[in-house]
Amino acid sequence: MDSSVRNLRVAILSSPGMGHLIPVVVLANRLAAHHNVRVTVLQVTTAVSPPESKLLDLPLHKDLVQIIQLPPVDISHLVGPSTQVVTQLCLMVREAVPVVRSAIAAMESRPDALFVDHFGTDALPIAAELNIAKYVYVPTTAWFTALTVYCPVLDQEIEGEYVDQLEDLRIPGCKPVRPEDVVDPMLDRNDQQYDEYVRMGKQIPLSDGILFNSWEDLESKTIQALRENQALRSVVNIPVYPVGPLRRPVEPAGPTSEWISWLDRQPNESVLFVSFGSGGMLSAEQITELAWGLELSCQRFIWVVRPPTRGRVDDAFFNVGNSSDGTPNYLPEGFSTRTRDVGLLVSMWAPQIEILSHSAVGGFLSHCGWNSTLESITNGVPMIAWPLYAEQRLNATFLVEEAGVAVRPRELPTKQVVGREEIERLVRSIIEHKEGQGMRDKAKQLKMSAEDGLGRAGSSYKSMCEILSKIG
Ligand code: UDP
């Protein structure tokens, strides 16, 4: 525990939704448990994203962390059916600024700093009003952070859609971004969410510093560019702090969990875990190809299955029928019977961190959400990168080309259906072949460097101490 920063108090603003709340709570717990900071998490809620009942499941540092769910804000008059996610999130936070201000005013004592996630930059002026420190927490990579703060420059330099560019997008000192890998809000420059994203890129550098959920060893080149590259510094002239990898802890599995007794019976590093995050869904055609690909590979798997995005809308979450052998009717007939000895299907949701930490798991076919990515790397598990939305294409390219811990389909799965033969090849390469073993070794090295980074002598730990010494 860092005694030099005893008694500090920080408020962290989380944008709506569990996907944004979880990384904020993980950060809050870390600040409390390792740095003795008292943290109040302020969560923005709306009528469409009501206070979360799942909140009760989030383990909180019991003495020092509290979550306050702010009164819901109404953005119905500002949005239409085609309003995109980033626009909605930014509007929700913008509308919530008065209730954030009131909530902070009502706190027992004034916080020493306000942290916001990257959708919350509109709340930064509250910190200025109170004359307290203000930081932005980007719960993903340094590379995403660099792209975001440099986007206002790209906006001036580049004409036409980014996805139509013939050359990669250059960010000074950083790995260039392939046009097809741009984040969702950069896909259509005429959509309001692009304007919101550019605005975010301009507002982040108005804070006192940026925290991101990565670590020095993982992204040394990008972090160095953010610190030293003159051209990049001209847009983001504030300190940057890699404080990760921050992730939820492993919860002990119940003795009767079906998946754990199944995994216990499988050989070491032999099972592929297949899951697409909290909301990722595939088309009916893609699900069929994935099922056949898994079956053809003859490898062991646990697959978190969900109904397809198209068709059966009424059944989307419930009442999906099964055929007589228990195969959900959106999978090829008889799939469960034919794969009975090697596969386990889990419907909708599985305890992902617990599964990835089991010694039988040898690979992860993942949508490359950053939480899933960290959960995989910190368990030394290599990946098949299958990006779907948000910044996942960027993450996938990073994992394949920089970190060397993933393989991927030849074409982006968002561009074309990945066929069964290619899936078979990818699965075999990660579980069965030498290539997979090499990536597993690399992932294990990263796991160790992650642990070092978080340890008392580590760079992520020191980053956090540095921030707190500036606040205190
Ligand atoms: N998750 C889980 N079980 C599931 C699906 C997801 O526990 O069946 C968790 C996963 O461990 C991760 C989070 O949900 O912590 C998903 O976050 P990520 O950033 O990977 O993707 P997102 O859902 O935000 O796209």
**CATH architecture for the domain at 258-449:** 3-Layer(aba) Sandwich (3.40)
Q: Tokens in use for 394? A: 């960027």
Q: Residue whose CA is closest, atom 7 of ligand 1?
A: 352
Query: What integer pLDDT is reported at residue 409 of this predicted model?
Result: 98
Q: In what order do the strands lie in the sheet with 133-138?
A: 65-69, 38-43, 9-14, 113-117, 133-138, 209-212, 240-242
Pocket test for ligand 1, best of 371, 377, 383 (most atoms within 8 A of CB): 371
Q: d(Cα 342, Cα 135) in Å, to the nearest integer?
A: 48
CATH 3.40.50.2000 at 3-248+455-471, yes or no: yes
Domain 3-248+455-471 and domain 258-449, same fold? Reply is yes
Q: Is the CB of 251 under 6 A from ligand 1?
A: no
Task: Specify the ligand 1 atom closest to the Cα of 350.
Answer: 8
The answer to whether the beta carbons of residues 270 and 362 sit under 8 Å apart is: yes
Instruction: Give catalytic status of residue 433 as yes or no.
Output: no
User: Best substitution site from 352, 358, 377, 386 to test ligand 1's pocket, by max atoms within 8 Å of Cβ?
Assistant: 352
How far is the centre of ligand 1, averaged over its atoms, from the C-alpha of 101 (Å)?
A: 31
CB atoms within 10 A of CB 448: 12
The whole-number pLDDT of residue 314 equals 40
DSSP tag of 177: B
Q: How far apart are alpha carbons 70 and 15 in whole angstroms?
A: 11
What is the per-residue pLDDT across 201-227, written as a single tens digit (0 to 9) for each? 999 999 999 999 999 999 999 999 999
Task: Determine the Cα–Cα distance for residues 154 and 166; give it in Å rounded to an integer.
Answer: 15
Ligand 1 atom with the shortest distance to the CA of 18:
24
Pocket of ligand 1 contains residue 279 by CB under 6 Å: yes
* Beta carbon of 23 within 6 Å of any ligand 1 atom: no
Please list, in sequence order, all residues whose beta carbon lies within 8 angstroms of the beta carbon of residue 400, skipping any fewer than 6 positions away.
385, 406, 407, 408
Complete DSSP assignment for 302-362: EEEE---SSS-GGGSSS---B-TTS-BTTS-TTHHHHTTTTEEEEES---HHHHHTSTTEE
Q: 289 C-alpha to center of ligand 1: Å?
A: 23
Sheet holding 271-275, edge to edge: 343-347, 300-305, 271-275, 361-366, 383-385, 406-407
Q: So what's the pLDDT on residue 311?
A: 45
pLDDT value at position 49? 56
Res 313: pLDDT: 40
pLDDT in tens, the chain (472 residues): 454 545 899 999 999 988 899 999 999 999 999 999 999 999 999 876 555 555 556 788 889 999 999 999 999 999 999 999 999 999 999 999 999 999 999 998 999 999 999 999 999 999 999 999 999 999 999 999 999 999 999 999 999 999 999 999 999 999 999 999 999 999 999 999 999 999 999 999 999 999 999 999 999 999 999 999 999 999 999 999 999 999 998 877 666 678 888 999 999 999 999 999 988 999 999 999 999 999 999 999 999 999 998 544 444 443 457 777 778 999 999 999 999 999 999 999 999 999 999 999 999 999 999 999 999 999 999 999 999 999 999 999 999 999 999 999 999 999 999 999 999 999 999 999 988 999 999 999 999 999 999 999 999 999 999 999 999 8
pLDDT for res 154 = 98
Distances (CA, A) of 356 to 19, 282, 300, 350: 19, 22, 14, 11
Asked about 122 being catalytic, the answer comes back as no
Structure tokens at 47: 């009528």
User: Looking at residue 402, what DSSP letter applies?
Assistant: I
Give the pLDDT confidence of 167-178 residue by residue, as tens digits: 999 999 999 999
Residue whose CA is at the smallest distance from ligand 1 atom 11: 352
Domain ranges of the chain: 3-248+455-471, 258-449
Tell me what pLDDT residue 309 has.
87
